[in-house]
Structure 1
Amino acid sequence: MGPDDITAARLSEIMGGEVGAIESTRIGDGLVGLNLRVRLLDAAPELPASVVIKLPSIDETSRATGIALRNYEREVKFYLQVADTVDIRVPECHLGEWDESTGDFVLVLEDMAPAEQGDQVIGCSVERAEVAVEELALLHAPRWDDPALHDIDWLGRRTSTEDVAAVAALWAMFHGPFLETYARHLSTEQIDLSKMFGPRILDWMSGREGPLAITHGDYRLDNLLFATPAGGPPVTAVDWQTPGHGPPVADLAYFLGAGLLPDQRAVSERSLLDRYAVALAARSVDVDSSWLWTQYCRESFGGVVMAVVASQIVGESARSESMFAAMATRHLQHALDTGALDLI
C-alpha cells in the first residue's frame, strides 16, 4: 500500500464499517517511514474520526535503510506479537501487514490527537521527563529478564559477535563523514571523546552486563506523544521500528541523554533514575541503585553511536541536521559528564 492506495473503500474494509470521504495529511518528519493522518469525514458513528497510517518512506535511501535494517518488519511484528505483553501505552493497531518479498509494510493505527509530539531539538521539561521515564518502566518490567524473549528471532540484538562487529564496522565507516558535517556543532572535548571511543567500541558492546528486556531502541522525544490541555494519555510511545531484546537501561540513558538539555540533565538525572527504579519496584522488579547508575553512565555512548550512524544512512530533511546535531552534542556531553569512557 502506498499513499495513492489509501481509499475510502480500502479503509472501509480495514475498519469494518463505512468510511465515506477521506482526507490525508502528512504528519511528522518520518525519516525512515511516511506517516499520514487520514480523516474519516463521513464515517459510520462507531468508527474513529481519524487514523494514522504508516507506510515506507518515499525517499529511496530511507526506504532501502528501513528494509535492510528490518525496521518495517519489526514494527509490524511488534504491534502484532509483543505490544499486548507489555504495559507501555501504544496506539491501538487496526491493521498491520508486512510483505516479506518486497519489504514493504502498512500499519493503520489509532490517532492519538490531540496529544502532541515531543521535540528532540528543543528538548523537554523535567516534568515531561518524569512522565516518560515512568512510562518506560511499563515497557521493561513485564518482560524483565524473560527467557522467552530469546525465542523471538526478529527482535534486534546487539550481543552476538557478528552484531558487535557489524556496529563497529559502521562506526569506522561513518565516523569520518559524520565529523565532516557535524564537527562544527561539537566542542573540542566532544570531538576528542568520539575519536577515543571508536577503538573502544568493541569493548563497550561486549562488556554489557545485567538483565535483558524488551527495549524500544529509539525512545526519544520525537517518538513520544504527550497529553495537551485538550486531552490524550499522559504519554504514548510510537515509532516501534527498532524494538530489541537488550539492556533496558540503554533506553533510559538514550532518552535522558538528549531529551533534557545538558544543564537540566546534570541536576535532575539521579532523581529521574530513582523515579524509574520506583516504577520498576511497583511491578516487582528491584534494581540496585549503584548498578543502575553505572549502567546508565556506560550506556550514554548508545546515543553517540545512534547519532553518528543514523545521520549517515537516512535521507536528509530540513530538520535532520539540527536534530542529529542536538543528539550528538548532548549525548557526547552526557558521556563526558558521567566519565563513561572510564567504565569501558
Structure 2
Amino acid sequence: MTDGRWFTEVLRYAGVLDDAVVTQIERQQIGTGQMGQNIAFSLTYDRPAPAAPATVVGKFPSPEPQSRAAAKTFRTYEREVGFYQEIAGTVDIRVPVCYLADIDLDTGDFVLLLEDLRPAVQGDQLTGCSLDEAMLAMDELAGLHAPRWGDPTLANIEWLGQYDDVEPNEVIRSVYQGLWPRFVAQYGSSLTSGALALGEAFGASMNDWRRSWTPPFCVAHGDYRLDNMMFGTEQGGYPLATVDWQIVGHGPGIMDAAYFIGNGLRVPDRRAHEMDLLKRYHDALSARGVEGYEWSQCLADYKRATLA
C-alpha cells in the first residue's frame, strides 16, 4: 500500500485523476502522532494532471499497541472514518477534502487520505487566538451544528458517539475523579476555595449533570479547540478548516462552543468578549435556520456547559 499504483487507483476512484500515473512519492512525517500516524505525501505524475493534488496527507493507525488498543476500545479510528464517509457531506463546516476513508473493524487498520491544508497553519492552544479567529470559529461551528440540528436519525448511527452512552460516560467520570487529587496538589493553591469545592462536587455528580441535558442534539465535534484547527495565511489556505474527528458525537452543540470559548482565547480577551462570541454563535445558528432556540436558553445552556 501507498506505492505509486495505489495512489493512482485511489485518486482515480476519487475522481481527481484521469490518465496520468503517479510515478514518484516523497514522504514526510507530520504531527505528534499520539493516536495515529500522519504522513504528508508529495506526488509526481508522468504527465500534467491539473485536477490532481500535488500533495496529500495520510492518516494511519499508531504503531504502538497500547494506542491501537485504546483506539479500538473507544472506536476513535472508526468514528473518524465514519465521519468522512457519512457525516461530512451533510454538514457545512470546512474540512479537508477526503479522497479515501476505509477501515478494517476486525484489525483496527484504517486509512484516511486527505487534502493537504498547507500553507494553512495549526492553531496554538498555548498562545491562544485572536478575536477575529475566534469569531470565525463560531461561524464554522454553527455550520457544523445547524444542518442536522434536532435530526433524530443521528441516534441511529451505530458508530457515532451518543451523549447518553453509559459506558464511556462512566469512564470519563472515573478518570476525572482519579486525576482530581493530583490536579489539586499541583494547582490547588492558585484556585479559590469555592472553585475547589465546585470541582470536587462536579466529579461526584457528573453523571447526573450529563443526564440533565435534553434534545435537541446535533453533530458535535467533541474536541473543538485550536490544536484541531488550521488557519489560512497570507500564502493561502482556507480561512479555517477543522480536523481530527476521532470523538465526533451526537449531543448538545453548546458543549463545543463552551469548550472553545473557555480555552481558545487569552484570559483578558475571553473576559472582554465572551458574550460577543456566544452571541455570534447563536446568531449564526438562527441565520442557518435553527428555530426555537432562544438566546435565553442558549445562555443558560452555555453556563452549564462551561463545566465541560
Question: Is it true that 1:159 corresponds to 2:164 in the alignment?
Answer: yes
1:170 CA drift (Å):
3.1
1:88 paired residue number? 93
Match of 1:171 among 167, 176, 190: 176
Q: State how far apart, in whole Å, the 1-side matches of 2:277 and 2:252 are.
A: 18
Deviation at 1:161, TM superposition (A): 4.1
Deviation at 1:198, TM superposition (A): 1.1
CA shift for structure 1 position 140: 0.4
Shift of 1:43: 5.8
- 2:62 matched to which residue of 1? 57
Question: Runs of 5+ in structure 2 lacking a partner?
Answer: 13-19
Change (3 A) 1:185 1:42: farther
Q: In structure 2, the residue corresponding to 1:301 is in which secondary structure?
A: coil
Q: Which has the larger radius of gyration?
A: 2
Q: Which structure 2 residues correspond to residues 99-114 of structure 1 after superposition, within 5 A?
A: 99-114=104-119
Which of 22, 36, 39 is residue 33 of structure 1 equivalent to? 36
2:53 corresponding residue in structure 1: 48
User: Residues 252 and 97 from structure 1, CA distance in 2 versus in 1: closer, same or farther, beyond 3 angstroms?
Assistant: same
Instruction: Give CA-to-partner distance per residue, 1:64-115, whole Å, 9 cap, x none.
Output: 2222110000100110111111111111111111111111211001111111
**Matched-pair contact (CA < 8 Å) for 1:164–1:206:** no
Output the CA distance in 2 between the equivalents of 1:89 and 1:239: 12
Cα distance in 2 for partners of 1:89, 1:149 equals 20
What is the correspondence of 1:1-344 to structure 2 with a 5 Å cutoff? 5-16=1-12, 17-42=20-45, 44-46=47-49, 47-176=52-181, 183-184=186-187, 187-189=190-192, 191-286=196-291, 287-302=293-308
> What is the CA–CA distance in structure 2 between the aligned matches of 1:241 and 1:102, rounded to whole Å?
17
Q: Deviation digits for residues 43-82 of structure 1, max 9, x if unmatched?
A: 6432211001001123333322222110000100110111
Q: Which moved more, 1:146-155 or 1:185-194?
A: 185-194
What residue ranges of structure 1 are gaps of 5+ in the alignment? 303-344
* Aligned pairs, number: 296
Q: 1: CA distance between counterparts of 2:247 and 2:281?
A: 22
Q: TM-score, normalised by structure 2?
A: 0.89
What amino acid does structure 2 have at the position aligned with 1:20?
T
Change in 2 beyond 3 A, CA 1:230/1:53: same
Identity %: 43
Q: Distance in 2 between matches of 1:34 and 1:296?
A: 35
Higher helix share: 1
Provide the rounded CA distance (Å) in 1 between the counterparts of 2:281 and 2:111.
33
Distance (whole Å) between structure 2 residues aligned to residue 99 and residue 36 of structure 1: 20
CA distance in structure 1 between the partners assigned to 2:166 and 2:70 by the alignment: 22
Give yes or no for contact 2:123–2:228 (8 Å, CA) kept in 1: yes
User: What is the deviation of 1:191?
Assistant: 4.8
Per-residue deviation, residues 213-271 of structure 1 (Å, max 9, x unmatched): 00111111111111111111111111111110100001111111111122211211101
Q: What TM-score, normalized by structure 1, do the two folds share?
A: 0.81
| CA distance in 1 between partners of 2:202 and 2:170 (Å) | 15
Residues 288 and 24 from structure 1, CA distance in 2 versus in 1: closer, same or farther, beyond 3 angstroms? same
Secondary structure, in 3 states, of the residue corresponding to 2:162?
coil
Instruction: Give, in whole Å, the separation in 2 of the partners of 1:121 and 1:43.
Output: 44
Could you tell me whether the CA contact under 8 Å between 1:250 and 1:296 is conserved in 2? yes
Whether the aligned pair in 1 keeps the contact of 2:98 and 2:114 (CA below 8 Å) is yes
Does the C-alpha gap of structure 1 residues 218 and 279 become closer, same or farther in structure 2, counting only changes over 3 Å?
same
In structure 1, distance between residues paired with 2:65 and 2:184? 24
Q: 1:131 and 1:185 mapped to 2: Cα distance?
A: 34
Distance in structure 1 (CA, Å) of the matches to 2:125 and 2:188: 16
**Hey, what's the Cα distance between the residues in 2 that align with 1:280 and 1:147?**
18
Deviation at 1:22, TM superposition (A): 1.1
CA contact (8 A) 1:19 1:40 kept: yes
The structural deviation recorded for 1:117 is 0.9
Give the root-mean-square deviation of aligned CA atoms.
2.0
Q: What SS does structure 1 have at the residue aligned with 2:22?
A: coil
